[in-house]
Structure 1
C-alpha cells in the first residue's frame, strides 16, 4: 500500500479484510462492471445479483446453512442474528469473555468488554459471559435459565487470537443441541479461507445454526457482510421479508464483489496458500523471538493467516507496533487484548514480501530488546 507522500508499506494488518490483497483485479473488474450496469437496485423488484451471490456463498458454507441475509458490516450481521434468534424465543444470550461481535447496540451487548459497553448502558437484558474454551462453564450457563442463543468466534480475533482446545467446537455444538440452544458462529474474521480452511467451523466439521461472514467476503473493495442460517432457523425472515430490511442490503455492487471474491479464492487456491504461508510466517516469527527477545514475548499463536504475538504488557505491544511501522510494516492492534498484536496478511503474498515481513519483524525485535534488555526494565515483574 502507498501513502500520500509516496511511502510504500506492506499491509499485514487490515483486520482480516485483505485475504485477496488490495484491489484484486478479478473483484475490482466485477465491481466496475456492475457499477456501469446497475450499482444500487430498487427494493421493489427482485435483484438477480443477490441470488447469484447467495448461491456462491452457500456452496462454500458449512453443510446445512441454506439461507442468506446480506448486510453492510459485521455488526449488522450480528444484529440480524440476534433478531433472528428472538423470532424463535431465544431472548437469552450467552457470549464469551473478550469475544468481539461489533459495536451497535445488540452486537455491543455480546461484545464482553466494559470499555466499549459502559458509555452506552443500558444494553440488552439477559446476556451472560463465559470463559472461551471452557466447556464446563458453557454447560453451567445453558442449564440455568430459559433457552438461549450462544454466540462465539471459532478463534477469538480481537480477544488476542485465542485458539480453543481441540474438540471444543464439537462439544459446544453438542451442548447446544442437548439444551435446545441456538449456536451462532461469528466467522467475520476467521472465515473466507484465512485459517487455511474456508471456515473455522470446518476444522471440526461443525454446522452452527447461524454463521456470520464479512471482511474477506468483499474482496477488500466493497463493504459487505452476511448472516447465513439453516432453513428452520431462518423461517421467520422467509415468511415475512419485511420484518428485517435495509436499503443497501444486497446492493448489486456488493453482490458482484461477493461472487468475484469467492471465485478468486477458488481459482487461485488461496485457502491452501493461507495454510502454507501461515505456517511459514508463524515459524519465522517464533525463530526471531527465540533469538532476539524471548524475555519480552509471552507467546506466538494462531492458525493460518491469523497470528497473534502476545507480549508481557500492552506498552510493549504498542512499542513493537511503532517499531514495525517505522520499518514500513503494518499490523493489527487487538481491541480486547492490548498486549497482543496480530498479523492478518493476505494469501497472495510473494516470497519476497514474506522475507520483507520477517526482516522488518527481526529488526524491530532487536530494537525493542535493546530498549528493554530485561522485563524489569519494562516495569514488569
Structure 2
C-alpha cells in the first residue's frame, strides 16, 4: 500500500481539526496523506501541494462537475439580490425551483418541500407518513437513508444504530429485492405501513435489483394501502443515465426524495416531491413541518441552475454513454490484474461499484487511486466495494487519465 506524504497542508490544520472538530476526522485526513483541497472546477480539484486530482468521488454530488458556469451564474445573481428570504412574504425563486423540479419528476408528483440535506427530507417523509396513519416503517437491509434519528432508524446497519438506540419504534427491515418478504411485512400492517427503498442501493455497494422489483413494490404498496417512498437522494438527477431510477423501470412512487445532484455541486439542497394525495397534510397546514432555511433563495437558484445545466448540456445521455465506457474498461483491467479476486463491475450510469473477494483490497485501491491522482469513495455499508461516482463532464482526455490511474493503482493494490 502506498503511503501518501509530502508538503501539503498548513502545518497546524490537522491540529485544528483535532482540537475543534474531530480527532477521528483528523486521523482520516492524515491517512490519506494530509493534503488539502483548495479549489475545484469541472472534473478536477487542486490541493495545497499543487496536485491536480480527477474527482470521481464526492458521493454523487458532482454530476455536472464543480462550479458549473450555469449554476455559479444563478447563485451569484441570487447572492447579489436576496440570498436568504424573510419567510413571511412569498418569494419567487422557491416557486420557480419547485416548478422546474416538478417538470422533470415522474408524472403525478406535483408538490414539493425543500430542505438542506438528504436526511432532512427522509425525516419529512416519515412525518408525512405518520400524519396519514402510516406509522409502521419498512426499509431494506443494507439500505442507507441518513443518520438523523428517524433516518437512522431506516438505515439498517448495526454499526451506525447501536450507539443511539432506542431509535424509532415500529420499524421492519426486509432483504432488498425480496418481494415475498416485503409482502409478509405489509400483510401484517394493512393500511398502516410506509415503505422506503432505493432504486439502487448506493452505500450497500451499488446493489442493483431485478427490473421487476420496483414495479412489484408499487403493486404491493397499492394492494396493502402502504405509502411508497423512493429515496433517490443519490441516484436521482441523472446519476443512473435517466433523470430518476424510477424512470428505468417505469414506476411512480407516492413520494420521491431528491438531493446531492440537485445542489449543482454549489449550494446544498434537497427536496421531497409527492403526489397531491400523499402531500395533503403539508398542503393543509404550512406550519406542520418547517425549517428556517427550507427553500432559501440561494439554494433555489442552485437547484434551477442544476436542472438547466443537465438539460442544456445533455448530461443524461452523456452519463449513460460514459457509464458503459467506464464499466467496460474497468472490467478489462480487473480481469487482467485481479482475476477471480474481483466480481463483475456493476451499476447503471455513473454509479459504479467494484467489489473484491479479498478483505482490504477495496481500501487499498482507494488509497492507491488517490496516490495515482483520482478520488473515489468507499461504501459505508459494504467495505469490500470501491465506488466511483464520476461527473458527466469527463472529456476523452479525462477518461484516459482515469483508466491509466486505475490500472496503476490496481497493480499496486494487487501486490
What TM-score do the two structures reach when normalised by structure 1? 0.96
Task: Give 3-state SS (helix, strand or coil) of 2:340's partner.
Answer: coil
**Residue 19, structure 1, aligned to residue 83, structure 2:** no
Give RMSD over aligned pairs. 0.8
Q: Match of 2:32?
A: none
- Distance in 2, matches of 1:292 and 1:318, equals 16
Q: Show CA shifts across 1:167-189 (max 9, x none).
A: 11101100100001010000000
After alignment, is 79-88 or 291-300 more displaced? 291-300
Q: Match of 1:253?
A: 298
**Residue 145, structure 1, aligned to residue 181, structure 2:** no
- Distance in 2, matches of 1:49 and 1:119, equals 40
Shift of 1:346: 0.3
Aligned 8 A contact 1:314 1:340 in 2:
no
**Residue 363, structure 1, aligned to residue 381, structure 2:** no
Shift of 1:310: 0.3
Runs of 4+ in 1 over 6 A off after TM superposition: none
Shift of 1:314: 4.2
Q: Show CA shifts across 1:84-133 (max 9, x none).
A: 00111001000000000000000000000111111111100010101101
Q: Match of 2:210?
A: 165
Length, aligned pairs only? 370
Shift of 1:368: 2.2
The residue correspondences of 1:226-375 to structure 2 (distance < 5 A) are 226-369=271-414, 371=415
Q: Match of 2:227?
A: 182
Corresponding residue to 1:43 among 87, 103, 113: 87
**Residue 156, structure 1, aligned to residue 201, structure 2:** yes
Aligned 8 A contact 1:299 1:311 in 2:
no
Aligned 8 A contact 1:317 1:341 in 2:
yes
The residue correspondences of 1:68-107 to structure 2 (distance < 5 A) are 68-107=112-151
Q: Match of 2:167?
A: 123
Task: Give 3-state SS (helix, strand or coil) of 1:342's partner.
Answer: strand
Corresponding residue to 1:208 among 246, 253, 257: 253
Shift of 1:355: 1.0
- Distance in 2, matches of 1:312 and 1:353, equals 29
Aligned 8 A contact 1:97 1:130 in 2:
yes
- Distance in 2, matches of 1:255 and 1:111, equals 28
Any gaps of 5 or more consecutive residues in structure 1? 372-381
- Distance in 1, matches of 2:286 and 2:399, equals 46
**Residue 219, structure 1, aligned to residue 264, structure 2:** yes
Q: Show CA shifts across 1:211-266 (max 9, x none).
A: 10000001000000000100001011011010100110000000000011000000
Any gaps of 5 or more consecutive residues in structure 2? 1-44
Q: Match of 2:108?
A: 64
- Distance in 1, matches of 2:230 and 2:273, equals 10
Q: Match of 1:197?
A: 242
- Distance in 2, matches of 1:42 and 1:224, equals 18
